[in-house]
Amino acid sequence: MAFSVNNQLAKDSVLVCELALSQLRLMNNQHYPWLILIPRVAHVTEIIDLDAQQQQTLLAEINLVAKCLKSHFPCDKLNIANLGNVVSQLHIHIIARRQDDISWPKPVWGGPTAPYADSDLQTLVRGLQALLQRE
Amino acid sequence: MAFSVNNQLAKDSVLVCELALSQLRLMNNQHYPWLILIPRVAHVTEIIDLDAQQQQTLLAEINLVAKCLKSHFPCDKLNIANLGNVVSQLHIHIIARRQDDISWPKPVWGGPTAPYADSDLQTLVRGLQALLQRE
């Protein structure tokens, strides 16, 4: 079966762009700049199930996205994680955390959510697209 | 200043072995097989602050440890994460999660802790050392 984004992930996030291996999406939660990388590989749940080349590409994409977040969104710590306990489709969270964010120092999962205003969401997505194109 | 393991990490975990880049430690929490990789690089808090060669070695060590856990501890999902909101010293969690574990499907951080019995801890550490030596 071909790759498709899990319904829950699709509902909680919006498309930013397609990278070489992964679809990059922005979680619709204004509490933190929170991106997810979803490798376009069907039926994969673990990083270790990707082949060596796919892992290399994923690592490059994690670097790209993490550096982009760190450079353009003031933050105290990046959180980079593959959990997948709720949605098993492989996806890697990259989140810019601040000591004054609503959940600090706790992890974001299961924490409060608040969608962006539509216009803010569109502006943010276009901004991210421009930043990533420049890299 | 030379590398040393953060006091809190040292208190919460025990040494398993030294890998090429990282010190591997077992969290002293019997609720899950929970390992942490601590790259022996002073003053590093983010994966993206490692150089390319260090990242390659770290990726290999994540694969080694994750495959070891998955092969020898029945589990439904691996959780692989760098958070560092509480202890900023770079460390990567690799945890074997089960649908019947005490925190499922929530993340483990901030969840219940219960130390192993001393003899169980020693047996587990020796078992992990033997498994990793075979790889």
Provide the residue-wise pLDDT of chain A in tens; the chain has 135 residues.
689 999 999 999 999 999 999 999 999 999 999 999 999 999 999 999 999 999 999 999 999 999 999 999 999 999 999 999 999 999 999 999 999 999 999 999 999 999 999 999 999 999 999 999 887
The whole-number pLDDT of residue A133 equals 87
DSSP A7: H
Write out pLDDT tens, residues B54-103.
Answer: 999 999 999 999 999 999 999 999 999 999 999 999 999 999 999 999 99
d(CA B123, CA B118): 9
Looking at residue B7, its pLDDT comes to 98
* pLDDT over 70 (residue B13): yes
Average pLDDT, chain A: 97
Q: Determine the Cα–Cα distance for residues B68 and B60; give it in Å rounded to an integer.
A: 12
pLDDT of residue A111: 96
Nearest by CB: A48 against B67, B88, B110? B67
Asked if A48 and B110 come within 8 Å (Cβ–Cβ), the reply is no
pLDDT digits (tens, 9 = 90+) for A70-87: 999 999 999 999 999 999
Q: Which of B105, B107, B104, B83 is nearest to B9 (CA)?
A: B83
pLDDT at B134 over 90: no
Which residues in chain A are closer than 8 Å to B106, comparing Cβ atoms? 85, 109-110
pLDDT in tens, A104-116: 999 999 999 999 9
What's chain B's average pLDDT? Answer: 97
Q: pTM score, two decimals?
A: 0.97
Ramachandran angles phi, psi of A87, nearest 5°: -110, 110
B59: nearest CB among A59, A67, A82? A59
- Selecting from B67, B82, B85 the residue whose C-beta is nearest the C-beta of A80 gives B82
Task: Verify whether the Cβ–Cβ distance B47 to A67 is below 8 Å.
Answer: no
Smallest CA–CA distance, residue A43 to chain B, in Å, is: 14
Task: Report the residue of chain B nearest A67, measured CA to CA.
Answer: B48
pLDDT on residue B1:
66
Among chain B, residues having any CB pair with chain A shorter than 8 Å are 45-48, 55, 59, 62-63, 66-67, 70, 77-86, 88, 97, 104-107, 109-110
Contact B107 A104 (CB under 8 A): no
Q: Tell me which chain B residues have a C-beta less than 8 angstroms from the C-beta of A97.
A: 85
The arithmetic mean of pLDDT across residues B106-111, rounded, is 97
Q: How far apart are the first and last CA of chain A?
A: 33
